Amino acid sequence: MTTDHYCVFGNPISHSKSPLLHTEFAKQTQQDLSYTAQCVDVNDFSSAANKFFEAGGKGLNITVPFKHDAFSFAENLTERAKRAGAVNTLFLNKDNSITGDNTDGIGLVTDITKHLEWTIKNKNILILGAGGAVRGIVEPFVKESPNSITIVNRTKEKAQQLASDFSDIFSIQSCSYSELAERDNAIAFDIIINGSSASLSGNLPPLPDNIINENTCCYDMMYAKELTPFLEWAKEKKAPSISDGLGMLVCQGAESFFIWRGVKPETKSVIQYIRSIL
């Protein structure tokens, strides 16, 4: 039997933890596979992906900046990839066609509900940011039946557009940061998710005090060895539970692994392992 090959495409890619986590999953489930990382030229996604599959590759993970290229490249798309407008997983079908899926949102929801044991059902959720990362998580959140979802963004029009794009499945509120501070009957949210890229540049969006109280759980989709500025803010406000996005990363990987191999790896120990070597 030959060893099946998988890879993650991105640019840059040297920071990627995907080879590490998929190698752990393979060991754990005794799957015969190899998984590498490839830095792809920004104008060369299609030809690199074609080359990979022509050489017998079985599946790809896709990271920044190629999730939209992968969306266009895929011959078929799953419903959740269509909703997300982006693809993070490509897989080869028996007829050699290639399907694009998106496991980012389900990865986040799995980390929140299974590992952190936060409840989404009937809760009031605030999401910061309205870019590609947030678009990918909206539908899996809606599926958990929250009481409300509010999207706040620096550029309010993008939050409005996102809310409008999901209006057939949920009535999402959208606002700017100043409007968030001025809400009439200002309730604190139950869960706040930072899906903006502010943490990447060491920034914190302008968050009013009335959105958080001692029951508000806070999640940053970025992960880092140190607390992100958003999680520092949450800690200072005495949030009862805070988490960065390492669990989301591992859980989206586990979903991709399941799509490719039909086996669900255990994720908690892999999160702990990667955390220990950050």
Q: How far is the CB of 162 from ligand ATR (least distance, A)?
A: 9
The smaller minimum CB distance to ligand ATR, of residues 36 and 232, is found at 232
The smaller minimum CB distance to ligand ATR, of residues 98 and 130, is found at 130
The smaller minimum CB distance to ligand ATR, of residues 162 and 270, is found at 162
Give Cα separations from 92 to 107, 238, 245 (angstroms): 21, 47, 28
Q: How far is the CB of 86 from ligand ATR (least distance, A)?
A: 8
The smaller minimum CB distance to ligand ATR, of residues 36 and 173, is found at 173
Choose, by CB under 6 A, the member of 76, 97, 147, 203 that binds ligand ATR.
203
Interface stretch with ligand ATR, choices 49-57, 114-122, 150-158, 245-253 (CB under 6 A): 150-158
Beta carbons of 194 and 133 less than 8 angstroms apart: no
Beta carbons of 44 and 94 less than 8 angstroms apart: no
Amino acid in position 155: T
The two beta strands, 89-92 and 59-62, are antiparallel
**Half-sphere exposure of residue 21: CA atoms within 13 angstroms, side-chain side:** 30
16 binds ligand ATR (CB under 6 A): no
Spot the catalytic one: 17, 67, 123, 237.
67
49 vs 166: CA distance, rounded Å: 30
Tell me if residue 67 is catalytic.
Answer: yes
Q: How far is the CB of 242 from ligand ATR (least distance, A)?
A: 19
241 binds ligand ATR (CB under 6 A): no
Interface stretch with ligand ATR, choices 110-118, 149-157, 167-175, 224-232 (CB under 6 A): 149-157
Beta carbons of 120 and 112 less than 8 angstroms apart: yes
Q: List, as own/partner pairs, every contact residues 74-78 make where C-beta atoms lie below 8 angstroms and the sequence separation is at least 24, other chains included.
A: 74/98, 74/99, 74/100, 75/99, 76/100, 77/101, 78/102
Count of residues that interact with ligand ATR, criterion CB under 6 A: 14
> Hey, what are 173's tokens?
């509120």
* Nearest C-alpha neighbor of 252 from the set 137, 174, 145: 137
Choose, by CB under 6 A, the member of 74, 133, 180, 231 that binds ligand ATR.
133
Angle, alpha carbons 52-55-59 (nearest 5°): 45
- Residues between 180 and 199 with contacts to ligand ATR, criterion CB under 6 A: 196-198
The smaller minimum CB distance to ligand ATR, of residues 90 and 198, is found at 198
The residues annotated with a catalytic role in the active site are: 67
Which parts of this chain interact with ligand ATR (CB under 6 A)?
129-133, 153-155, 158, 196-198, 203, 205
